[in-house]
Structure 1
């Protein structure tokens, strides 16, 4: 599991660095700061390989909400919700009306089920026995108008 985490961290670093030059990047990053310190991140980029695989390439043209991380000491204080709200406003301004996201982590899945409802796809044993990988397909307008 440590190798998977390290690969994920390296991938996110590369995405963040690439997004600093918008001419060469199709990734958009937002950060949340409190008292000058970064306490959370969120990104929007083309959907990743896990989503493509889980959906049989049905969502290839839909962008992915990803890299939503909040420091543990700031979790449960609305930082993640504020990041999602700001990202939705950005997507709306860009004329983007849908997005997807995925998770294989049980703790995150519990939060996403509350926030985004039932997943579009749930693939059993995706990461091994007793693991489920979930993919959500959502409308930006549902999170702008407060339907969700």
Structure 2
């Protein structure tokens, strides 16, 4: 892996980021063997809304990670989504760490850890000390449990029998 560059999303990045989201989600849905035909379209539409919000809403900040000029990862800081805000009492000025994706050919090479590290640095620069994160895909849940520990809340059977949704509340001073 060459040198990684973390920066805010620029308008010229949109098509590359949309491609990263599509590739990552397609691979994730295939690997997880989800049968919901609309899931990919719904997730891509949600992420495209986040992209647009980055340019239109000063509470949404989307970042990309580049390697040799190619976008290989992304993450966002934004107001907590409805699943989080509907199930936890949030601190004032709460923030969610979301839209964390790494292109499939760069997964398991430290890019996700780099995104998390840079997002932590960005939150501290914004004087944020607590963030929320949620995950519904089983592999994402496993990843975040390894990185962040046990979730704060597990919504059992949220997506159907045996399909929980997990929410974390993380204080940055407790992060490794």
Which of 41, 48, 53 lines up with 1:18 in the alignment?
Answer: 53
Q: TM-score when scaled to structure 1?
A: 0.88
Match of 1:40, SS? Answer: strand
Give, in angstroms, the shift of residue 87 of structure 1.
Answer: 1.0
Match of 2:120, SS? Answer: helix
- Once the two structures are overlaid, the 10-residue window that deviates more, 10-19 or 104-113, is 10-19
Residue 155 of structure 2 is matched in structure 1 by 123
Residue 136 of structure 1 is matched in structure 2 by 168
- Residue ranges of structure 1 left out of the alignment (5+ in a row): none
- Once the two structures are overlaid, the 10-residue window that deviates more, 1-10 or 72-81, is 1-10
Q: Deviations over 1:62-110 (max 9, x none)?
A: 2110000001100011111111111111111111110010011111111
Moved over 4 A (4+): none
Q: Greater share of strand residues, 1 or 2?
A: 1
Alignment of 1:110 onto 2:142: yes
Q: Deviations over 1:34-59 (max 9, x none)?
A: 1111111000100001112333xx12
Which of 84, 102, 108 lines up with 1:70 in the alignment?
Answer: 102
Alignment of 1:83 onto 2:115: yes
Q: TM-score when scaled to structure 2?
A: 0.75
- Residue ranges of structure 2 left out of the alignment (5+ in a row): 1-35
Q: CA–CA distance in 2 between the matches of 1:35 and 1:20? A: 24
Give, in angstroms, the shift of residue 60 of structure 1.
Answer: 6.4
